[in-house]
């Protein structure tokens, strides 16, 4: 199969690029592969919103830039920060033009929320389901374009390479178990996050770090994987099988973090208190829980006007109510959960990786925007800006976009000898437990070395098994999770100073 542009991933990064390139090149073919349904992405689960400067609030680019740099703890690329922040208003307007609807205030302006690390209200949102609304709008746009083909339930296995050039990818059709050879002039990795490596995560089940692992095996440069952001306030429910996020915007709305005894402990750690950046709040909660031996801390919303709360956070209100938590009188139990990886596939300002014709965008990429810790609601903005940068770069490189096509060997799947699914499940659970305990918010050198040894052992096992067993999506996800785990551990061992979200003692 041949296509002009192959996009792996169907979230905000991949779809934004696809929409733009399809309009400029209506005669070109764009193929999007996604391992679940097209809408099942990290984007869909983003509650808070997009941080964008709005003139009517007295905000300005300098403030947003400063907030980002402070949050990144000295490791942001300042030129990248300035570029992303100043493009924000234009990229937001494009989303609105494509049909995304955001909340408005009584004066007719965008209603702006505030989150940790921000010095002013600047978060554009759609209630507490911003990502869901964005994904709805851009997916509708993509589906309306005749030259965009979306292949759902197709899982990218490996990149097709020759002499440090990417020529597409080998892709598993999950329905037929056929492995397709999809040759492409340009390949974009937009595969989202790595949350399932930890298990206790706000990410969906599809977030297994596939793009980062693929790029690593291909020889691309991967940076800053030690900077794992833990969201401070995931709902604590010991009976739940998945993690539900309690948006940071609730603290921006006025909620307080408290211990079981009612103490507002964030006042002890940072002058910004409950609105300190995520790394500081998560580390503070970790400290409090170790001191008290309790399982969680609490988010107090009881002093907030309930009607206003329900208006702004209807999904969170319903989830709490279903669990018997009445926000008018009950505190919400919360604790940190893995949320975002600040590192990933190293790219330049045009989204180019260290492999020719291979680009990366969104959470799977490392642009230099986030440094040691991401400022809340900067991630959707980054994806929009870099998708636009890649688009603008490629429309000026038309000769580069049309490579001489050649034939590559097909990947002949092993039809017999299926891998025991119980082995995959058991190893995945053990990996998540290992990462949670040994590579969490605060890390110890000896724990990292134990994790490295175990991860390497699992890697050797799956490499040997792949030679003799049938390839499945579940098996390859496990392989990718192990690869990502090794990257996080190795880069954690290599880092010698604590910055932002990275603490090693």
CB–CB of 388/16 below 8 Å?
A: yes
Assigned domain for 41 exists: yes
Look at residue 406 in the predicted model and tell me its pLDDT: 73
Would you give the distance in Å from CA 67 to the centre of its chain?
20
Residue 277 has pLDDT above 90, yes or no: yes
Summarize pLDDT for 434-452 with one digit per residue, the tens.
999 999 999 999 999 999 9
Q: Are residues 328 and 378 in the same domain?
A: no
From the candidates 114, 251, 278, 319, which is the catalytic residue? Answer: 278
Position 247 in a domain:
yes
**What's the whole-number mean pLDDT along residues 292-305?**
96
How far is Cα 454 from Cα 171, in angstroms, rounded to an integer? 29
Residues 6+ apart with CB under 8 A from 107: none
- Tell me, yes or no, whether 407 lies in a domain: no
Active site residue 374: no
**Predicted local confidence at residue 442, as pLDDT:** 95
Question: pLDDT confidence of 308, banded at 50, 70, 90?
Answer: very high
3-state secondary structure of 494: helix
Task: State the residue range of the domain holding 119.
Answer: 2-227+342-395
The interaxial angle of helices 12-24 and 130-143, nearest 10 deg, is: 30
Do 146 and 269 lie in one domain? The reply is no
Residue 353 shares a structural domain with residue 430: no
Residues 128 and 206 in one domain: yes
N-term to C-term CA, the chain: 51
Reported as a pLDDT band with limits 50, 70 and 90, residue 238 is confident
Q: Which domain CATH number covers 330?
A: 3.90.700.10
Q: Point out the least confidently predicted range of 20-24, 451-455, 465-469.
A: 465-469
The two three-digit tokens of residue 39, written as one number: 């809408």
Nearest to residue 192, comparing CAs of 39, 340, 37, 81? 340
The answer on 481 and 358 residing in a single domain is: no
Domain assignment present for 133:
yes
* Residue 411 forms part of a structural domain: no
**Same structural domain for residues 204 and 96?**
yes
Per the model's pLDDT, the better-predicted residue between 419 and 154 turns out to be 154
Asked if residues 410 and 179 have their Cβ atoms less than 8 Å apart, the reply is yes
Same domain, 330 and 475: no
Residue 73 sits in the same domain as residue 24: yes
pLDDT of residue 457: 98
Judge whether 219 and 37 are in contact, CB under 8 Å: no
459 within some domain: yes
Alpha carbons 147 and 5: distance in angstroms, whole number? 11
Binned at pLDDT 50, 70 and 90, residue 412 comes out as confident
Residue 401 covered by a domain: no
> Strand 297-300 vs strand 256-258: parallel, antiparallel, or unpaired?
antiparallel
Average pLDDT over residues 324-332: 96
The reply to whether 314 and 295 lie within a common domain is yes
Determine, yes or no, domain membership for 362.
yes
All residues at 6 or more sequence positions from 277 whose CB lies less than 8 Å from its CB, including other chains: 70, 71, 116, 117, 373, 375, 376
Q: Do 242 and 202 reside in the same domain of the chain?
A: no
Domain end, chosen from 377, 395, 413, is at: 395
Q: What is the distance between the alpha carbons of residues 337 and 432, in angstroms, rounded to a whole number?
A: 12
Which residues share a beta bridge with 498?
Answer: none
Distance CA 438, CA 477 (A): 21
**What is the tally of structural domains in the chain?**
3
In sequence order, which residues have a C-beta less than 8 Å from that of residue 12 and are 6 or more positions away?
41, 43, 131, 134, 135, 138, 362, 380, 383, 384, 387
pLDDT of amino acid 402: 58
Q: What pLDDT does residue 148 have?
A: 98
Going by C-alpha positions, the residue among 116, 191, 149 that lies closest to residue 476 is 191
Confidence at 399, pLDDT banded by 50, 70, 90: low
Residue 438: give its domain's CATH number.
1.20.58.100
Predicted confidence at residue 35, as pLDDT, reads 95
Tokens representing residue 386 in the block = 């870099």
CATH number, domain of 350, equals 3.50.50.60
pLDDT-above-90 percentage for the chain: 88
Q: How far apart are CA 473 and CA 155, in angstroms?
A: 7
Task: Quote the pTM value.
Answer: 0.95
DSSP 363-432: GGEE-SSSTTSPPTT-HHHHHHHHHHHHHHHHHT-TTTTSPPP----------S-PPPHHHHHHHHHHHH
| Whole-number pLDDT of residue 398 | 66
pLDDT band at 55, cuts 50/70/90?
Answer: confident
Residues forming a β-bridge with 257: 299
pLDDT of residue 240: 79
Average pLDDT over residues 327-347: 97
Question: pLDDT tens digit string along 145-195?
Answer: 999 999 999 999 999 999 999 999 999 999 999 999 999 999 999 999 999
- Concatenating the DSSP letter of every residue in 269-298 gives T-TTGGGS-HHHHHHHHHHHHHHH--S-EE
Mean pLDDT, residues 34-41: 91
Instruction: State how far Cα 53 lies from the chain centre.
Output: 22
Rounded to whole angstroms, the Cα distance separating 211 from 183 reads 17
Whether 188 and 204 map to the same domain: the answer is yes
Mark whether 220 and 333 lie in a shared domain.
no
- For residue 407 the two structure tokens come to 């034939």
């Amino acid at each position: 199969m041949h296509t002009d542009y192959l996009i792996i991933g169907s979230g905000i990064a991949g779809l934004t690029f696809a929409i733009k390139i399809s309009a400029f090149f209506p005669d070109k073919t764009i193929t999007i592969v996604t391992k679940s349904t097209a809408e099942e992405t990290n984007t869909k689960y983003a509650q808070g919103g997009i941080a964008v400067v709005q003139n009517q609030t007295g905000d300005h680019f300098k403030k947003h830039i400063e907030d980002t740099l402070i949050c990144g703890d000295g490791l942001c690329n300042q030129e990248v920060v300035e570029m992303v922040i100043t493009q924000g208003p234009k990229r937001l307007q494009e989303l609105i033009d494509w049909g995304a609807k955001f909340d408005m205030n009584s004066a007719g302006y965008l209603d702006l929320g505030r989150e940790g690390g921000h010095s002013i209200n600047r978060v554009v949102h759609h209630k507490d389901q911003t990502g869901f609304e964005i994904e709805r709008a851009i997916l509708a746009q993509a589906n309306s374009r005749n030259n965009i083909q979306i292949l759902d339930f197709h899982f990218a296995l490996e990149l097709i390479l020759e002499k440090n050039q990417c020529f597409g990818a080998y892709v598993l059709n999950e329905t037929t178990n056929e492995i397709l050879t999809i040759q492409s002039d340009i390949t974009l990795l937009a595969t989202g996050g790595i949350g399932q490596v930890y298990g206790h995560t706000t990410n969906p089940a599809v977030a297994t770090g596939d793009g980062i692992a693929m790029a690593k095996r291909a020889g691309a440069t991967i940076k800053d994987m030690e900077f794992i952001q833990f969201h401070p306030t995931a709902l604590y429910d010991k009976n739940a099988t998945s993690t539900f996020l309690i948006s940071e915007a609730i603290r921006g709305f006025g909620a307080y973090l408290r211990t079981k005894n009612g103490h507002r402990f964030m006042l002890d750690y940072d002058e910004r208190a409950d609105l300190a950046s995520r790394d500081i709040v998560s580390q503070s909660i970790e400290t409090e829980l170790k001191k008290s031996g309790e399982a969680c801390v609490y988010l107090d919303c009881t002093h907030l006007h309930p009607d206003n709360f329900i208006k702004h956070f209807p999904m969170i209100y319903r989830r709490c109510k279903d669990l018997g938590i009445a926000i008018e009188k009950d505190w919400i139990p919360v604790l940190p959960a893995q949320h975002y990886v600040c590192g990933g596939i190293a790219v330049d300002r045009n989204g180019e990786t260290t492999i020719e014709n291979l680009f990366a965008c969104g959470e799977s990429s490392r642009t230099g925007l986030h440094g040691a810790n991401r400022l809340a609601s900067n991630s959707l903005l980054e994806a929009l800006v870099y998708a636009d940068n890649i688009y603008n770069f490629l429309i000026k490189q038309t000769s580069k976009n049309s490579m001489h096509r050649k034939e590559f060997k097909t990947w002949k799947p092993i039809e017999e000898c299926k891998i025991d699914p119980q082995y995959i499940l058991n190893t995945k659970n053990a990996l998540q437990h290992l990462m949670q305990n040994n590579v969490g918010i605060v890390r110890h050198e000896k724990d990292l070395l134990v994790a490295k040894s175990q991860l390497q052992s699992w890697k050797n096992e799956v490499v040997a098994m792949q030679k003799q067993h049938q390839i499945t999506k579940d098996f390859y996800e496990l392989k990718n999770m192990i690869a990502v785990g090794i990257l996080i551990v190795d880069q954690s061992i290599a880092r010698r100073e604590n910055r932002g979200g990275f603490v090693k003692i």
